[in-house]
Amino acid sequence: MTQSLSGVFRLCFRSLFEPGRGYAFPCDSNGRVRLDDLSEQARNNYFYARAMVGRELAAPAVEREAP
C-alpha cells in the first residue's frame, strides 16, 4: 500500500562537487515522486537530476522533511 505523504518526505539529489547544492522533490516514503503534481519546471528539473546521477549528482536519498 502506498501512502500519499506529500510534504513529509523528499527525494534529494545532492551535488557531487558543490556542498549544499542539489535538488529536492516531494515524494512518498518509498521515494516515488508524483510527476503530475509537479510544475513543468520542477518536472524538467527532476528528469535532469535523474540523468545527472553519477555525473554531477549523487544517487538520490529519501529524507524526512524538517518539522
**How do residues 8-57 score in pLDDT, each as one tens digit?**
999 999 999 999 999 999 999 999 999 999 999 999 999 999 999 999 99
| 3 inside domain | no
End-to-end CA distance of the chain: 25
Q: What is the pLDDT of residue 67?
A: 74
- Domain around 40: 9-64
Q: Residue 34 corresponds to which cell in the numbers above? A: 508524483
Report the SS3 class of residue 27: strand
| 2 inside domain | no
Q: What is the pLDDT of residue 5?
A: 47
Domain count for the chain: 1
| 23 inside domain | yes
Report the SS3 class of residue 46: helix
| 49 inside domain | yes
Q: What band does 66 get if pLDDT is binned at 50, 70 and 90?
A: confident
Q: What is the pLDDT of residue 4?
A: 47
Q: What is the pLDDT of residue 2?
A: 43
